[in-house]
Amino acid sequence: AMASSSALRMPGYALLVFVAVLAQTEGFYLPGVAPRAFKDGEAVNMKVQTLVSTETPLQFDYYQLPFCEPGQIKDLPENLGEALAGEKAHTSAFDARMKVDEYCKTLCRKKYSPQQMEEFQ
């Protein structure tokens, strides 16, 4: 009878220890994923990443396809999740600012050949 009553109290004791340990922990952010506050009108850097498809398991670098490009494409530092997933991030030509409304802004104009249009499919 003694063993069964202590076995019944053990899950309650384990829960109490878990809650006590949890109360002692502090939160932290991984590098590159911490929240950031922006001021009104401040530029928000938009990045482009690896493209994936439901049609094929292959991944494509964003700029392998004929998308609009910035003046200079720079590789951006990856956070841990991006590195583990094999994603590459680059600068983009997009221009966005915090709390600045813009509608239908043209990024660039391009003419695509039939072969380039095939690449988008």
pLDDT in tens, 54-107: 888 888 889 988 889 999 999 988 777 777 877 888 999 999 999 999 988 899
Interval 106-114 mean pLDDT:
91
**DSSP code of residue 75:** B
Task: For residue 64, give every residue at least 6 positions away whose Cβ sits within 8 Å of its Cβ, in sequence order, or none.
Answer: none
> What is the rounded distance in angstroms from the CA atom of residue 43 to the CA atom of residue 105?
16
pLDDT tier at 51, thresholds 50, 70, 90? confident
Interval 11-36 mean pLDDT:
62
Q: What is the pLDDT of residue 69?
A: 92
Task: Indicate whether 25 pLDDT > 60.
Answer: no
Q: Report which of 44, 68, 49, 56 is spatially closest to residue 121, judged by C-alpha positions.
A: 56
Measured in Å, how far apart are the chain's first and last C-alpha atoms? 71
- Percent pLDDT > 70 in the chain is 73
Interval 37-49 mean pLDDT:
92
Residue pair 73/91 in contact (Cβ under 8 Å)? The answer is yes
> What is the rounded distance in angstroms from the CA atom of residue 102 to the CA atom of residue 96?
9
